[in-house]
Structure 1
Amino acid sequence: MKRKFFRQQIILSALAIAGTITILSSFKKDENKPVADDLKGTINISGAFALYPITVKWAQEFKKIHPNVVFNISAGGAGKGVTDALSGLVDIGLASRDINPAEVKKGAYTIYVTKDAVVPTFNTGNPNAAALESKGVKRDQFLNVFVTGTIKNWNQLGGKVSVPIHIYTRSDAAGAAETWAKYFNKKQEDLLGVGVYGDPGLAQAVKKDVTGIGYNNLAYLYDLKTRKQVAGVHALPIDVNGNGKIDADENFYDTIDHLTDAIASGKYPSPPARNLGFLFKGKPQKPELVEFVKFVLTEGQKYVDENGYIVLSKQKIAEELKKVN
């Protein structure tokens, strides 16, 4: 199936690092065509780097229908998004992790809008790159790198060249970190490594260190135009069945389309695959918020696949729409 190509991911990464993007108008109005829509207001959004790119796209498309709605969108990690939403600083917190009971007691109300995954990463200049991509890494081996610290050298993961493993993790309260830790039944604070802020920062840290290892959301590892992995930092294949090699049905990292298909079909484990959601403080009531959520769960789903995310099932969409009706 042919897929349309949209903006280069690096632009979004730059925007995320810069802070907030305000979407006032991203299209030319036809002055001769009356606007048959009086929906207006401002929607403030902050949170997960994982959801940031597709949320910007949704906002741009929503404004073509409702030009009087203004969006302020910033990426700062899932923890910031959840905190901002529950404190009333923003209307929507972008959540890329499970919501804990304490947050629910504070009024957290989540509507899931898409799905993606966190993937382990390594530097493609690693002298053991060919062996790593052929053999993959087992879950317990990742555990002993990121949690116990008993694996310290790449030759312990099947490499032939002895080089130390330099671990990088997230310094901010991140859904990606929480999800990666959940793969080992742990919490973000249990992960070892040098802390780096943000998804783009973590990808860059591994890209600059030949012996580096980390983890990222899909949107920061693949070029949405070529659909292939970006240069310098690639996904480190997971040996799901633990047989010491990457079998044909585990070899799905070459393009973002193959990987999202694997996530959707369950071939890629969950976690680190996960649902992504909009978090509100209580059920959304403002008309502009309700209409935006409905748009995301209906018309907005057609932008999901081409931007490197997974479309929700019809059943899941129906369940989530009930949360705003």
Structure 2
Amino acid sequence: SRIYGLTIYKLSLHASMRNWCRVSAVKIGLKITLVLLVVAICYTILYFQLFQPKTTVIRISGSTTVYPLAVKWAEEYMRLHKDIKIEVSSGGSGKGITDVLAGLVDVGMSSRDLKSDEINRGALPIPIAYDAVIVVVCINNPVLSELQVKGIKLSILKEIYSGLVSNWEYVIDKDLNGDGFISINATHAININTGSIEGYSAPIEYEIHPYTRAEASGTAETFAEKIGIGDQELLTGIKVVGNPGMVVAVRDDKLGIGYVSLAFAYGEAAEGVEPIPIDFNEDGVIDEGERLDNYDIAIENIVNGKYLLSRALYFVTKHKPTGMVKEFIKWCLTEGQQYVAEVGYVPLPEEKVHESLKLIG
């Protein structure tokens, strides 16, 4: 029995040792696997830090006019440069200039000339394309055919946005309802028999509904300056946001009148509204340089300087741009100009391209 017990004890000892070896091997294997996993993770992180290109983010904000062009440029540039990410947001020229001066973005967008105080704070305006401000009315406007032929005299446009004229009868110089008066505004009219201005209660069916911009807008600033009012804040009208908001408001109001940038006056973006020529010399005739029959004619008159509501569009940086921001703007001024007309604006002439390139150094 002693021999039997000793045998059992030896067998049990051998089994225990085998189990201990198995457990130890598993533990060692797990430790080795864990170490290899940690090494692999560390190597991967190190590889991406050392060898993978870092993404550079360029932030742009500002003018709703420049926004479609900036988005197009951003898309094309990112397609060519996978390590660059460009974020574009709108909000008006004033916001773009404020943002870039505050360091919130790398590039501001402006559809107006910069003010002296903005330039004194380090803002650098870089012309990138040309545009124009176009007056639009609803396609269902009751005097649309007359407006297309005669346009709107510049002085009357100013009076509309100063609140002095508020009836379409006066704009086209015609008694539309046959009451013997040409309404000027809600309280006065011209007696067509005597030619005198008399007190009068104007018919609301021909009342003018002017629309203007709510935000700090380069389009509104340019419009106010060019028609002789001087400042956006002095424009009378129902306030709307952005070029798209202006198109929608005028489209939905047959008595409405508004103003938009070139890209929103023609094509799909202008559905429901019609561009109206301005009689700049007030001779009662729409001259060749005042015509806006279609996009091509408008472009021709903008390029040759005959359309007086034309303007430059700008990228704005705080001091001279550097690094990737500079390279992006340089591309916009050279290869990127091929996309300007596609978006609906006017490319810079070659000499203006060189001037802008000199600005960024």
TM-score by length of 1: 0.82
Matches within 5 A, 1:150-189: 150-158=164-172, 160=174, 161=176, 163-185=206-228, 186-189=230-233
Residue 218 of structure 1 corresponds to 262
Residue 242 of structure 2 corresponds to 198
In the alignment, structure 1 residue 308 sits paired with structure 2 residue 344? yes
Deviation at 1:248, TM superposition (A): 4.3
What stretches of structure 1 move > 6 A for 4+ residues in a row? none
In the alignment, structure 1 residue 240 sits paired with structure 2 residue 280? yes
Q: 2:275 & 2:55 partners in 1: Cα distance?
A: 42
Q: Which amino acid is the alignment partner of residue 291 of structure 1?
A: E
* Local SS of the residue matching 2:141: coil
Q: 1:122 & 1:172 partners in 2: Cα distance?
A: 21
Q: Which structure 2 segments of 5+ residues have no match? A: 1-51, 178-205
Q: Contact 2:247/2:270 (CA < 8 Å) preserved in 1?
A: no
Map Cα deviations across residues 98-154 of structure 1 (whole Å, 9 max, x no partner): 11111112111111100101111111111111011111111111111112x221100
Q: 1:171 & 1:97 partners in 2: Cα distance?
A: 16
Matches within 5 A, 1:72-151: 72-147=87-162, 149-151=163-165
* Local SS of the residue matching 1:323: helix
* Local SS of the residue matching 2:160: helix
* Local SS of the residue matching 1:61: helix
Q: Which has the higher helix share?
A: 2
Q: Which amino acid is the alignment partner of residue 127 of structure 1?
A: P
* Local SS of the residue matching 2:259: strand
Q: 2:301 & 2:282 partners in 1: Cα distance?
A: 17
* Local SS of the residue matching 2:296: helix
Deviation at 1:76, TM superposition (A): 0.8
Residue 11 of structure 1 corresponds to none
Deviation at 1:159, TM superposition (A): 5.8
Deviation at 1:308, TM superposition (A): 1.3
* Local SS of the residue matching 1:322: helix
Q: Matched residues, percent identical?
A: 41
Q: 1:199 & 1:322 partners in 2: Cα distance?
A: 31
Residue 320 of structure 1 corresponds to 356
In the alignment, structure 1 residue 280 sits paired with structure 2 residue 317? yes
Deviation at 1:258, TM superposition (A): 2.0
* Local SS of the residue matching 2:279: coil
Q: Which structure 1 segments of 5+ residues have no match? A: 1-36
Aligned length: 280
Indicate the structure (1 or 2) with the bigger Cα radius of gyration: 2
Which range is displaced more, 153-162 or 310-319? 153-162
* Local SS of the residue matching 1:132: helix
Q: 1:250 & 1:168 partners in 2: Cα distance?
A: 22
Q: 1:231 & 1:314 partners in 2: Cα distance?
A: 33
* Local SS of the residue matching 1:44: strand
Q: Contact 1:39/1:66 (CA < 8 Å) preserved in 2?
A: no
In the alignment, structure 1 residue 256 sits paired with structure 2 residue 299? no
CA RMSD between the two structures: 1.7
Deviation at 1:307, TM superposition (A): 1.9
